Structure 1
Amino acid sequence: MEVFIIDDDELSLFLTENMLLLEDETLGIKGFLSGAEALEALSSDGIPDLIFLDLNMPVMDGWGFLDALTPLAPGLRKSCNIYILTSSLAPSDAARITKYPFVAGLIHKPIESDELRTIFSQHRKK
């Protein structure tokens, strides 16, 4: 399973990657410090199975990344699960996410093992 983690905070990126590998050491994980870097990788590497996306980043934030993916929305949800991984508890963020039907869910940082197990089992059922 291929996984992208998009987060400008290197510590969060490291922790998320290690939590994922604790649950499944066979994952192919690529980390990106901005949405722009991840978009470039999507064009060259293709769409991964899972994306964990931070919302608040400089250059291109999570919202800009989601906007850039909107034209791919019809096929995206079938092949890729996108999870917003954020420390924000703002209700406005949760409400805004509903505008992106290809987003599978919202997870508050730090991600927990039981959440990952649920995500992996849902994705494998696809």
Structure 2
Amino acid sequence: MHILLIDDDSIGLFLNERLLKREGFTGSITSFSSAQDALGFVQTAEPNSLPQLILLDLNMPVMDGWDFLEALRPQESLLLGRCHVYILTSSLAQSDATRIRDFPLVTGLIHKPLDAPQIQAVRAQVETANSLQ
């Protein structure tokens, strides 16, 4: 499984990558500290090279997670069912949980810090969704 990590916190990126590897994610993990760079990666990727899972931080400078999701709208039909986006946030704002409904690509919301049970739940959801295709 190809995973894309997007977070402006370099320590968070490092820890989340280590956690994913420790929890048995054996595919490739690509990390970006900039949503703009990650967007460029997704927009130029060949369909068979798209990530199956994106873990996206909401609060980032220049382009935040919401902006990233808006920018992906033109590719939404290509990504739906192939790419599962989980929002990573330290925010407890109900508005964030409500707003994710506006984005069909978003599969769920995970409160930081990411931990092993959350990772295993995400894996189960993604693998189940992929087996139904």
TM-score under structure 1 length normalisation:
0.93
| TM-fit CA distance, 1:70 | 1.3
| TM-fit CA distance, 1:72 | 1.9
Q: In 1, Cα distance between the equivalents of 2:8 and 2:98?
A: 23
| TM-fit CA distance, 1:119 | 1.2
* Residue of structure 1 aligned with 2:51, choices 43, 48, 51: 48
Q: String of CA shifts for 1:1-23, please: whole Å, max 9, x gaps.
A: 10000000111111111111111
Aligned positions, number: 126
Residue 99 of structure 2 is matched in structure 1 by 96
Q: In 2, Cα distance between the equivalents of 1:109 and 1:45?
A: 28
Q: In 1, Cα distance between the equivalents of 2:11 and 2:45?
A: 24
Residue 17 of structure 2 is matched in structure 1 by 17
SS at match of 1:79: coil
Matched, 1:71 2:71: no
Q: Identity, % of aligned pairs?
A: 48
Q: In 2, Cα distance between the equivalents of 1:114 and 1:105?
A: 14
Q: In 2, Cα distance between the equivalents of 1:28 and 1:94?
A: 29
| TM-fit CA distance, 1:25 | 4.7
Unaligned runs of at least 5 residues, structure 1: none
Q: In 1, Cα distance between the equivalents of 2:25 and 2:42?
A: 22
Unaligned runs of at least 5 residues, structure 2: none
Shift in CA distance, 83/25, structure 1 to aligned 2, threshold 3 Å = closer
Residue 8 of structure 1 is matched in structure 2 by 8
Q: In 2, Cα distance between the equivalents of 1:25 and 1:93?
A: 27
| TM-fit CA distance, 1:45 | 3.3
| TM-fit CA distance, 1:51 | 0.1
Q: In 2, Cα distance between the equivalents of 1:93 and 1:120?
A: 22
